[in-house]
Structure 1
């Protein structure tokens, strides 16, 4: 979704970077879950859930980058961008389930803290900073929206591993095993807050809510202000994936126009809507005495 490039090599570059980062993260997430169990650290398990979410996002972005170059079909008439919402919903469900599992494991440890293997935590944290930092560096060269968004997630992971490293070092010197469940709960709450926000935004797009009410009002005013337009109705503004927006509207003409005048008005509509960067627009012109077929 988003940006298109002029030649095949440029199209392959984001796909290559996203694929590289996906396999790197996927492999490391498996190591994290195993390492979290072996070191008895709920903080590492919580970060593993976070990384699992990022791995899913990377895999989805990689697939969408490949699908994004395909033309719409008779079955997928708008193309494949809306699959982004399906992926976001699956991602949210996985993260909620994983976060619930971490909380069920971590909360009881607040009353009965168990000392994790601090040296194992430190080793995994250093590896985590290196892996996520390298993946973020690879994606920092990208210009697509997918790459930019996921790059921020990877940078968040780096900061998370810095926190694990600090706690691991602290546990070498002080006998405070409660630091581990406290850190895991903090990680998990951070994940859940972000998931809740993204899930609400995703569900709104699924039910075709207006992606931006201010833009909706501005579009309505822009169309109403056009010469020869008496009224605007059946104005529908929705989004395929949060980035690619769709607009349909009926414009009632102030008077009957000739073919040449209708052509001029269409040109004015195109120019007026250009600033909104819409992906798809459908505008119907209605004569003054015409009964709208969509009216109840």
Structure 2
């Protein structure tokens, strides 16, 4: 397997640690505030915050595992640990959202008086804490699916706190206690939307699906332009993790060349695949008039 060097973004684990501490504190505060005020939306926000704590811990562990070196027993190391973390985090977003919807519907038909003043102050605290936490992870989220899943938990929780704040103000000045349930449902729907998108992305990577931005037929056309490259076939393209895009294929060379000549040909192919398709791990099996299927995609 040949590897083209790429610059990797270094994820800062300490940002996750700070976010875990902040979210644990806000969770405790919101649970106490929700019980005292009687606000389901505030308790729902606290529940989401607690799921953030679990999510961030899981993301931190996955991040640490992904840095372990490969070994005889783990030839790829633990690089896919962060994909598993992203998948689990996305699933928890959806599960928490469904739980919130159930509770909100039940409360809508059985509304309770709520101490809106406390709700407002707790919501402001939630906005501040989750806003700071989200900002700390924003840069990492742009380069890492695991960090993106953690960032989305925090960002959506900040939005949830904004919704709680709006609901608290409406309850305080208009006495609309039913708004508590409506806001909870809106929070949950948003969680489901972002959760499903992240779940789809992580599932595709775990299932080794061809990345959406990759056109295999275009890869074949570009490789076939290289002098000496015969037919590229038996192709697989997949993400090992966010930063490593792999390709393996068979190449039926147009001539019966020496291995040293194939090395030169392989180098040209590597440059084309990396510069045009950002594929940085390449494993090509050289052939010459070998009797095997020559389709682009072959079921192993």
> What's the TM-score, normalizing by structure 1?
0.84
Instruction: Please list, as runs of the form range in 1=range in 2, the aligned pairs for 1:46-195 lying within 5 A after superposition.
Output: 46-139=44-137, 145-146=143-144, 149=148, 150-151=150-151, 153-195=153-195
**CA spacing shift, 1:3–1:274, aligned 2, 3 Å:** closer
Deviation of 1:243 after TM superposition, in Å, equals: 4.2
Q: CA distance change for structure 1 residues 40 and 238 in 2, over 3 Å: closer, same or farther? A: same
Correspondences of 1:205-284 after superposition (within 5 Å): 205-212=205-212, 214-275=214-275, 276-284=277-285
Classify 1:242/1:164 alpha carbon distance in 2 versus 1 (closer, same or farther; 3 Å): same
SS of 2:249's equivalent in the other structure is: strand
CA shift in 2, pair 1:138/1:230, >3 Å: closer
Task: State how far apart, in whole Å, the 1-side matches of 2:184 and 2:41 are.
Answer: 4
Q: Does 1:286 align with 2:287?
A: yes
Can you give the 5+ residue segments of structure 1 that lack an aligned partner in the other structure?
A: 6-10
Give the RMSD, CA atoms, in angstroms: 2.9
Aligned residues: 288
Query: Which has the larger displacement, 178-187 or 37-46?
Result: 37-46
Secondary structure in structure 2 of the residue aligned to 1:238: strand
Which residue in 2 is equivalent to 1:8? none
2:52 maps to 1:39:
no
Cα deviation for residue 41 of structure 1 reads 1.8
Deviation at 1:76, TM superposition (A): 2.3
Give the Cα–Cα distance (whole angstroms) in 2 for the partners of residues 295 and 263 of structure 1: 27
Q: Is the 8 A contact 2:41 2:184 kept in 1?
A: yes
TM-score by length of 2: 0.83
Contact kept? 1:228, 1:253, Cα under 8 Å: yes
C-alpha deviations, 1:167-188, integer Å up to 9, x for none? 2122111111110000000001
Q: Is the 2:8–2:243 contact (alpha carbons within 8 Å) kept by the matching residues of 1?
A: no
Unaligned runs of 5+ in 2: 1-5
**CA separation in 2, counterparts of 1:110 and 1:137?**
34
Counterpart of 2:3 in structure 1 is none
State how far apart, in whole Å, the 1-side matches of 2:231 and 2:253 are: 7
The 8 Å contact of residues 39 and 117 in structure 1, kept in 2 or not, is answered as yes
Stretch of structure 1 that moved more, 269-278 or 27-36: 27-36
Q: Which moved more, 1:242-251 or 1:147-156?
A: 147-156
Cα 1:115–1:180, aligned 2, differ >3 Å: closer, same or farther? same
1:23 corresponds in structure 2 to: 21
